[in-house]
Structure formats: structure tokens, C-alpha cells
Amino acid sequence: MDWQPDEQGLQQVLQLLKDSQSPNTATQRVVQDKLKQLNQFPDFNNYLIFVLTRLKSEDEPTRSLSGLILKNNVKAHYQSFPQPVAEFIKQECLNNIGDASSLIRATIGILITTIASKGELQMWPELLPQLCNLLNSEDYNTCEGAFGALQKICEDSSELLDSDALNRPLNIMIPKFLQFFKHCSPKIRSHAIACVNQFIMDRAQALMDNIDTFIEHLFALAVDEDPEVRKNVCRALVMLLEVRIDRLIPHMHSIIQYMLQRTQDNDENVALEACEFWLTLAEQPICKEVLSSHLVQLIPILVNGMKYSEIDIILLKGDVEEDEAIPDSEQDIKPRFHKSRTVTLQHEEDRTQDDEDGEDEDDDDDTLSDWNLRKCSAAALDVLANVFRDELLPHLLPLLKGLLFHPEWVIKESGILVLGAIAEGKCRCMQGMVPYLPELIPHLIQCLSDKKALVRSIACWTLSRYAHWVVSQPPDMHLKPLMTELLKRILDSNKRVQEAACSAFATLEEEACTELVPYLSFILDTLVFAFGKYQHKNLLILYDAIGTLADSVGHHLNQPCDSNKSAWTLSPMSADPSIPCPYKLAAAEGIAIDVGGEYIQKLMPPLIQKWNELKDEDKDLFPLLECLSSVATALQSGFLPYCEPVYQRCVTLVQKTLAQAMMYNQQPDQYEAPDKDFMIVALDLLSGLAEGLGCHVEQLVARSNIMTLLFQCMQDTMPEVRQSSFALLGDLTKACFMHVKPCIAEFMPILGTNLNPEFISVCNNATWAIGEICMQMGAEMQPYVQMVLNNLVEIINRPNTPKTLLENTAITIGRLGYVCPQEVAPMLQQFIRPWCTSLRNIRDNEEKDSAFRGICMMIGVNPGGVVQDFIFFCDAVASWVSPKDDLRDMFYKILHGFKDQVGEENWQQFSEQFPPLLKERLAAFYGV
């Protein structure tokens, strides 16, 4: 069939296409309405394909637009196209894939792919054979058009092409593509590599069968002059490094030499692809062995790549120094996600440096969120620092000196970034850097007042990476000067610097903790002053800094200012005329700052003001609620004057969200699904209030329906809601059990069913809450023991259970045994060993105390249950630093009872197995 358009209809469609290119909004609305009308006529799509493929007299943009409207129709309604229309469109695409215009060829390629992705690859059996056949055409346009379409199909349907559903067309396609690696046209060569590249990561069998030919052909293209070809060659080698390193190892020296050249390619896209190679190589076990001898070449190349390019500086508005008064554009503000509360225990080692928590955003310039050569080079140096550690320094240090003191700001800035990339934590190059830090840290602190905003902001980030070391030195040496300068930068006139300084200060707070207490007055004045200064985006980061401060100094926030301690902040600050200290800024703007008031009076008014300004459906509530949760926990009873409105609003947020969820579940077509993050954050703040206010929260609970709401939240389908509910239940149990007790019969079965380690954090918080309930219920817990005990014993014996969950499970089993020893003791032998190993590392505290009392009482009921694993019990007892006297007596009796029962000789043999330290501790504390 050769369909022909009606002339009048064709003119109507052409007019519509012309109108749709108009910038006028009213015209656009008319176009949209007209499109809706025309889509009622099935052969409207014939007109669209006719304009695209046959109407060569029209301009290219109009023809291409016709194809794109058709593509959208295919996406939305292809299943309802009449058969003749669908066939006409498919035939026209294949007949015109070699159009003289590259724009039209690309549009037809997109259209073909869209039809194929609608499940049509199976229904269009002639498509792939015909496209592959067209590759052999003498006409360049036909070959290029067919390859463009094939590349899009390979990108969209790679798995399907390697499946039995289509009889594995890849077996024919891969060898065919490989033939074109040597084609005279760079565009065709580039298409050919890009097509094959789609199948590397999935290890498609057809490619694995031809892997040696593929690699050989790639090597032959190493010296190709076309940037697009070079880019695709680099991309292929990076992926092969991940999936077929065995095939690359024999050629690794040459590949590294090639990648060193390409990482310096004049084309930044090629350089970026090549730079990915170092990131991937760093993850391979052979990295150190194959790369050591090349570091001398590689390190200067990576360092050079870390400079801002001219385009970066333009995009970052690097020439704009003062922008604090310019309002933020809303798309600059990343969506925030709340991380639900997980209850953890304190360990012997004071602060564990947990890498998973510190997912460090190597984001010195996160608004330029596109991955670029600077970021990739910095990330590569970071991961290589992890592999080579101090061996990297001989190659870096000579370069660093020249960079850090360079008169050109762009080069100096890149040096500061290098210093940050190799830092942080116990790994990377930290140890080797220590001798240089007493000289480098003061220089970096000096860079905080550089005249270029981009230098000031990167200095903030780099200094935060060395915060751990700074805090380990006497405070007067580096902590005080760093803190003074960072606080000035928090009040910088550049928004990027404000953001970097606030984030860096939050890191410093986490490291320094109570070291900050003498300077709290000055810190709070600065942070509070920033409230009046910051635009939207940085306000959200300021909440984090305040919340982290509260977490770090704890109850010290609930203290009157000590005028002696704050004397340091005032005298030198006032003496230096260049410093925009808050007192001077405040005086200039007519704001009175009460130096002698209480910390709470400084901090709370601006927080409460923001709290009152925000509507219930505003997502800015998330960071503010998180911040208030930390503040409430730290201030304890000091939060009382502010607690009622905060408490009420949280209850309202929970109630509103539950009501919206119910309406949505009943009539999903009429109501929107609620954003449950509002409820989760509110539950977590209620937890913070219960933990901070303790028994003072009782009256608030009495006057609200929180227990009813909590019953619903505990059964929510969303794990994070249940997780936060159980945390709140545990905190309310500790603070005001009289309101929890009447609900226990309803709550316990729900807690029991949530002891499911598939949801680790939910299970963890449910376990902890059960333990807290035990301590309040005492012997009345007896009817509920069997509901939870078997699950708890199963969890403690599971392999690979996370440490936090193991510890909470052990505590709760111990507490169950403490209140109901007769019910739990018969199972003692099933959990005693993992129980003892889980609790040996946690600090002496009330939770540990009650759990060990429970284990002692269970041993009293069932001494046989501990015999086989007695050495583990001995080790757990020895982990106590200072148990209470009556608990020490319990340990003494059990140890001596066991020793008396087995006899002196057997005890001697048994205790020979003890490590020396254990032997010493038991002898010294318990005389065994």
C-alpha cells in the first residue's frame, strides 16, 4: 500500500508544526489542544511520518519535529494504532534511514528504537536483518543512518538482543560490528565501537566468543585521530578492566601508557573517559603491582586535571565574590531525605570511625553536579591514596609545594584540593602527612581569608578532612585558630563559602565534641547571626551544623554562659579591626546580643521563629525537625519552655499523614499518596523530646492521643515508619511507662512480628523497645516471653548479623531472663556463646548491667546450660571495668561455684586455655 495524504489535511498539519515552534505560550496552548483533536484520527500519524520522510521541500526542523511528535504518539498509543498505519510507519522508517540530512536520519533512528522498545522487536522480525544489511550499502548516509538506529537499539534493548526470544541476533551482529572498526569513516567506526560496548558489562556470550578479536581491533584504533573514536576506545578498556581483566593483563603496560596519554587528551570528553580507568584500576587486586612503576607519570597528570577549567569557573560564577543577597533559585536545592532513627549502644572505643556513615561527598563544587575531569581526577587520587598510602607522597610532595604557594589562584586552589583528596581517616596518606601538618594547617587556615571565594571554600573542605588530626593536638595550637577562622567564613559574603564553612564546621564539631564547650557562647552567637544572613539553601545546612553541635556537646548546651570562659572570644576578637565578628555586625545593624545570657536563650528564638514560619507541608521542616530533635535531647529539661507547641505540632503531623494515607488507600484515584517522611521526622523528634525531657514529657503524653497514633504507625507498610515508631515506643517506655502499660497487650504481638532481620533497622529498634518494656514490666512480662524469645534466639545465632542488632538482641535476651528467668533459662545453651561474644565490647552501662544480671539469674536456674561455653562467659565477665558490688558478687559466686564443682586440677587445665590478659583479670578481680 502506498498511502497518499489529502492536500488540505497536509497543509493543516504543516501549519500546526510551524505554530508549535512559536515561543508564544497562548499559541502553544492552542497547539496542544489541536494535537489532542488530531490524535483522534488514526491516519494523523501517517501525515506525521509523511512529513518526516517524504516532504523534502520542507525545512529540517519542521520535518524533525513531525518525527518527534510521532515518537511521542508511539510512546503513548502505539498499541491502538491500526495495523496498516503501523506497517506504513515501519516501512517508511526503513526506506528512509539513509536520508541526506543527519538530523532526519537521527530522528528516524529514535523513532525506530521507540517502536522497537514497545515490545515490537519480536513483532518486527525484518528490522534487525534489514538494518544489518543496510550497513553494507555503498551510500554513506544509508550506512550511517542504519548504524545510528542500531546503536540506539543496542542501548535500549541489550538484554533482549542476547536472548532466546529473538534467537540471539547478537551472534550475527557482534562479528558484523567488528568488521566496521576499520571503516574509513570515523563516524561509522565510532558507531561500531559504541554498539559493541553496550554488551561488555553483561558479558554477552557472543562478545565473549569474539573477545580477542575485539581487543585486537581496539588496540589498532589506539592512535585514531577522531575524538569520538578515542572516547569509545577508552570507555571499552575501562569496562573490560572490570569484566575481563584476564585478557588485558598481558598488555597492561601498553594500556597504562595509552591511558596516561589519553588522560591528557585535548578533548575533555576523551580525557574524562580515560581518567575513569584509574578509578576502576584502583579497585582491582593487581593495581599496586601494575601501577607502582607508573606513579611518577600518573600523579602529575591527575594533579593537573584537578584545576578548574575555564568553563567550570564560568558555570560556578567563580568571578562573583559577593552573592549573599541574591536569592537562591529553587532548583539549586537538592531534595533532602530523612534518615530514620536507629538505637545503638556505646562501645569501649570512644568513637568508632565508621566509614559507612562517613560517605564523604568529595563535593567541593556540588552545584556543578556534572561529573567532570576535575572531579574524576580528585576521586582517582583519593582511591589511589587508599591503595598506595604513604608511597604516593614522594611523587606528590614536590608538586604540592609549588601548587600551594602559587601566585595564580586556580593553581593554588587545585593544590588545596589535592591536599584534601589524600587526607581523612586512618588510611590514605594520613600517617605520612603528619610531619608536614604543623606547617600546612596554619597555611590552610590562612587560605580561609584568601580574596578568591573558590579558594576560601576549598580550604574549608580540605581542613575538614584534617579535623581529626587538628583535634588530637593541644587546642591552642590549631583548634582555636581554625575555629575562629571557620566561624568568620560561616559569615562570609559568598554563599558557596558559607556552605563549605558550615559543612566543615559540622565535621569539626563531630571530631571535637566537648572540646568546644569553652567556646560555646561565641559559636552560638555566630550560628544565630547566620540565621539572619543566609538564603534558603544554606539555611538548611545551618540546621545541620546546629543539630551536630547539640549532638557533640550534649547537656553542656543547657548551661548558663560562663563569663570567664567566654572572655577569650571577646578580647582578641574585638582587638582585630578586620574581623566581622557577630558583636560588631550586630551593633552595626542595631541588634543587641546578650553576652551573659544562657545558651538556650541565644539558640531557641531563631529556631522557633523558623518553626512558626514553616507550613506543615513544607519539606524544610525535615532538617529543622532533625535539628530540634538533637537540641531537645541535648537541652534536656532546658527545652521545657519550648516543648508544648513542638510536641503538639509533631502529633498533628503524624495524625495528618495517617489520615491522608487512609484516604489514599480507600480512594487512590481521588487522593494523593502522603509523603510519609513528615510522619517519620515527627516521630523522631517526639523520641528526642521523650529522651531529653524524661519524666517531664508525661503531661504532654497524657493530653494527647499519641498512643493510639503509635499503634497505627507500628503497623505501617513502610519500614522506616515502623523503625521510628519502635524508637519512640522505647523512649516513651523509659520516660512515662504509665501511658504505655495499658497498651502492652496490643503492642507486644506487633513487636514480635517485627523481629524480622530482613529489615535490620526495624528489627533492631523493635528488639530494643522489648528490652525497655521488660525492665518496666518485671515479672508481668511472663505472658509475652514466648511471643518473642524464639525469634530473638534465632537472630543472635544468624551468621552475618550486623553488630548493632546482635548487641541489642543480647541485651534484650538478658533482660527477659532478668525478669522471667524460669521461662528463658531452659534455652540458655542455645544462645550463651553468641550472647557473650556480642556484649564483650560494649561499655559498662545500665543496659549491660541489667543484661548480665539476667544471665547470672538464668545460670542459677540452669547451670548446665553454660558448662560447654564457660570460657566465653569468663571472657564476657572480664570485659567489665567496674561492675556494681552486688553484680560483682554474682560473678564471684558463679566463677567459684564452677571451680569448686570441677575441682582444682580440672580448673587448672581449663584455665590454661585462657589468653594471658583474661587469666590476669580473673585472678585480680575474682581470685580464680
pLDDT digit string, tens, across residues 594-607 = 333 488 888 898 88
**Domain annotation covers residue 14:** yes
Higher pLDDT, 169 or 487: 487
Instruction: Output the pLDDT for position 561.
Output: 58
**Domain annotation covers residue 926:** no
Amino acid at residue number 532: G
Q: CB–CB of 240/284 below 8 Å?
A: no
Instruction: Output the pLDDT for position 347.
Output: 58
Q: Does pLDDT of 209 surpass 60?
A: yes
| pLDDT tens per residue, range 370-400 | 788 999 999 999 999 888 988 888 898 899 8
Q: Stretch 683-710: mean pLDDT, rounded?
A: 94
Cα-flanking dihedrals φ and ψ of residue 347, to 5°? -105, 170
Rounded to whole angstroms, what are the CA distances from 521 to 533, 577, 589, 765, 909?
19, 21, 20, 36, 61
Burial 685-695, CB ≥16 within 10 A → b, else e = bbbbbbbbbee
Instruction: Output the pLDDT for position 429.
Output: 63
How many whole angstroms separate alpha carbon 497 and alpha carbon 460? 8
- Joined together, the cell numbers standing for residue 856 give 547470672
Q: Stretch 487-500: mean pLDDT, rounded?
A: 94
How many whole angstroms separate alpha carbon 230 and alpha carbon 271? 9
Q: Does pLDDT of 570 surpass 60?
A: no
- Model confidence at 527, pLDDT cuts 50, 70, 90, reads very high
Sign (positive or negative) of CA dihedral 214, 220, 222, 225: negative
How many whole angstroms separate alpha carbon 504 and alpha carbon 489? 10
Tally of domains in the chain: 1
**Domain annotation covers residue 836:** no
Question: Which of 257, 184, 243 lies closest to 215 in space, CA to CA?
Answer: 243
Q: Does pLDDT of 17 surpass 50?
A: yes
Q: Does pLDDT of 568 surpass 50?
A: no
For the chain, what is the mean pLDDT? 86
Amino acid at residue number 762: V
**Domain annotation covers residue 674:** no
Instruction: Output the pLDDT for position 567.
Output: 35
**Domain annotation covers residue 890:** no
Q: Does pLDDT of 821 surpass 90?
A: yes
| Residue 93 structural domain | 1-120
**Residue % of the chain over a pLDDT of 90:** 53
> 388-392, 427-431, 561-565, 869-873 — which is least confidently predicted?
561-565
Instruction: Output the pLDDT for position 701.
Output: 96
Q: What share of the chain is helix, strand, coil (3-state, %, to 5)?
A: 75, 0, 25
Instruction: Output the pLDDT for position 33.
Output: 83
Q: Does pLDDT of 678 surpass 60?
A: yes
Please provide the DSSP assignment of 673-686 as one string: PP-THHHHHHHHHH
Rounded to whole angstroms, what are the CA distances from 759 to 566, 682, 891?
47, 21, 36
**Domain annotation covers residue 512:** no
Q: Does pLDDT of 118 surpass 80?
A: no
**Domain annotation covers residue 495:** no
| pLDDT tens per residue, range 270-294 | 999 999 999 999 999 999 999 999 9
**Domain annotation covers residue 92:** yes
